[in-house]
Chain A
């Protein structure tokens, strides 16, 4: 009887302790100065008329949908594609790699194509495979072999241009983003599309 009583007391203490200890953990602490809040990353941003997040998202959405509907990708089983440069012909510091990264991610998620490492990542690729084949750090049977890289069937390249005009209190910016898919072996352009964006603002925004 006494043993049973002790058991109950022990259980109660353990339970109380565990509640006390884990009680706080179940509630995530909320540290806030009251001045910072999270927003929806997809919110349409029109703070200024410079290239912004909404432009990047709409270009990536438009281009990836268009490319995925292209019959050329369906003609081959999961063709290998690489991303070449998107030339920035504007005077704005637009991270064109960030745009192509978004396009590549959307296309890759479809499962219809595979992507080969692009030129900006080539040195890292070569360094890694060289490292695996140097010295005695790796098992010879497990290290990736030199000379096994696959050449891409297609490359994606493009340009972004802009025309900026000011008159009185109005600033008008027109962007044109062009993208092409080129067959690396034949040099034939298999697909191309454009996305145009126009943004107009009054003087207080520039």
Chain B
């Protein structure tokens, strides 16, 4: 491996990068969002939004800011504002998609990450966050009564998943190649002191990948079924059942697809209850001494990210009660806690390679300066301090996402219903209209946030054709029937 021999070559860009990246190197995203989430958990959603704004005062807002804000706005029932904010985030993900496709743009920033840490990279979002962004947008569109726009977002989700699969396959290949070239064989299992069990848990390894969720695909099935497109609903339900096997609600989605339209009568609504709990796990940085065989530099402490689960996420309700008597069991169909661990597990080879290369460059340049003595040695000490200060893993992750997503589904009479989650004190009256509806509840800390769907002029239609008989039309039908009776009696 070719390393820098002239220390100024490293010191100058390092100083420049520290200046350019500014607070991003020193920022603790976990601390910021812990405060925001505490406010959400206490029911102070407006203050949580204000707090988020105060932590993002720069003119150039990043993807993470838009994603966090859109989630807070949706909890505050500001669906239109949430949608417009999500679309700004979506625009940034589109840019990433275009760059990922043509393999340009990201190169300079990756070099920065090699010298400092992953915090200096532009935040492109974890793969599951990109997919979730489209899913959350679809939820907001449905809650604001716009099923057609929800369909657009659902379709985008499939296309995004395909791009991610392609990009990740190529990246994995590139990391494998780089590891081989540099002789790096370290895996996360070799990191002494790393909580390996978090990434090696059976539920983590059982996932197909870190970005496809059963919830996103089930919601796709539900949206397509609502819009009377069973040909597209079927793969949605099928993929959901494949991603999270042996869950009755997911298996019933596909099994009942052909019969449900005929069972659903006018005046009834097929309702999907979605109950979200907790918040997505926090990323924390830990230092682990790693033997750097590159240039025989010995054991060097390198920062790595670990995931800390939200302790409240296990308190997810297991039932939803409608009008005091109808108890529907809730099934956890997606755990973003588990998905984020799977995503980190898949990202670890790249993080390890970048960490080792970064450590090798920093240590070599520092050693060269120290060996020169005099003023160069002072620069070497300064570089050492800078290395210690800046060596910290990237803590950025979409924290306002829920830890778990549970669902239940039932056909109930259209109209007003009182809905309760056992174990919580608040009863919520929700108006249900149209052939299909969505009810979302989110539990954060002690607080329960209910969605209140907005219904426009265009409600989801019934597959069974309905005839709204006005007096004129009814009169024509009666006359026709009478005419037929006369004819048949004449024949007799």
A interacts with B? yes
Question: Quick check: is A183 within 8 A (CB to CB) of the other chain?
Answer: no
Q: Which residue from chain B places its CB closest to the CB of A126 in the assembled complex?
A: B465
Segment 145-196 of A: residues with Cβ below 8 Å from B: 145-147
Total of A-B residue pairs, C-beta within 8 Å: 79
Are B472 and A133 interface neighbours, CB within 8 A?
yes
Is B232 in contact with chain A by the CB < 8 A criterion? yes
Chain A positions 112 through 139: 1 when the CB is less than 8 Å from some CB of chain B, otherwise 0: 0000000110110010001001110000
CB distance from A73 to the nearest CB of B (A): 24
Q: Which of B419-476 contact A (CB under 8 A)?
A: 461-463, 465-468, 470, 472-473, 476
Q: Are B476 and A94 in contact (CB under 8 A)?
A: no
Interface size of B by CB at 8 A reads 33
- Chain B residues with Cβ below 8 Å from A123 are 461-462, 465-466
Q: How far does the alpha carbon of A135 sit from the alpha carbon of B238 in the complex, in Å?
A: 46
B291 at the interface (CB under 8 A from A): no
A4 at the B interface (CB under 8 A): no
Given known A-B contacts A126-B466, A130-B468, A93 and B220 have beta carbons under 8 A apart: yes
- In the bound assembly, the distance between CA atoms of A203 and B176 in angstroms comes to 14
* Complex interface: chain A residues within 8 A of B235 (CB): 88, 90-94
With a CB–CB cut-off of 8 A, which chain A residues contact B242?
91
User: Which of A93, A94, A204 is close to B170, meaning CB atoms less than 8 Å apart?
Assistant: A204
User: Is B117's CB within 8 Å of the partner chain A?
Assistant: no
- Is A45 an interface residue when CB atoms closer than 8 A count as contact? no
Q: Is A61 an interface residue (CB 8 A)?
A: no
Any A CB within 8 A of the CB of B252: no
Residue B229 is within 8 A (CB to CB) of chain A in the complex? yes
Chain A interface, number of residues (Cβ within 8 angstroms): 31
| A86 interface contact, C-beta 8 A | yes
Q: Is the CB of B476 within 8 A of A97?
A: no
- When distances are taken between beta carbons in the complex, the residues of chain B under 8 Å from A119 are 228, 463
Taking the closest CB of chain B, its distance from the CB of A14, in whole angstroms, is 50
Task: Flag whether A10 is at the interface (Cβ < 8 A).
Answer: no
Question: In the complex, which of the residues B463, B466, B472, B480 contacts A147, with contact meaning CB atoms closer than 8 Å?
Answer: B480
Q: Smallest distance from the beta carbon of A121 to chain B beta carbons, Å?
A: 10
Which residues of chain A come closer than 8 Å to B158, judged between CB atoms?
93
Q: Are B232 and A88 in contact (CB under 8 A)?
A: yes
In the complex, A92 Cα to B235 Cα: how many Å?
A: 6
A42: chain B residues at CB < 8 Å are none
Q: How far is the CB of A150 from chain B (nearest CB, A)?
A: 16
**Bitwise interface map of B from 42 to 57 toward A, beta carbon under 8 Å scored 1, else 0:** 0000000000000000
Contacts of B166 in A (CB 8 A): 48, 205-206
Smallest Cβ distance from A127 to chain B, in angstroms? Answer: 8
Option from A88, A92, A94, A135 in Cβ contact (under 8 Å) with B472: A135
CA distance A95 to B233 in the complex (A): 10
B106 in the interface (beta carbon within 8 A): no
Q: From residue A52, how far is it (CB to closest CB) to chain B in Å?
A: 11
Q: A91-B238, A94-B235, A146-B480 are in contact. List 13 more A-B contacts (CB 8 A).
A: A87-B230, A93-B236, A96-B231, A96-B232, A97-B229, A122-B465, A123-B465, A130-B473, A134-B472, A147-B476, A147-B477, A206-B165, A206-B169
A-B CB proximity, top 4 nearest = A96-B231, A88-B231, A134-B470, A88-B234
19 contacts between A and B (CB under 8 A): A50-B162, A86-B231, A87-B231, A87-B234, A88-B232, A88-B234, A91-B238, A91-B242, A93-B235, A95-B229, A123-B465, A126-B465, A130-B473, A133-B476, A134-B472, A145-B476, A147-B477, A206-B165, A206-B166
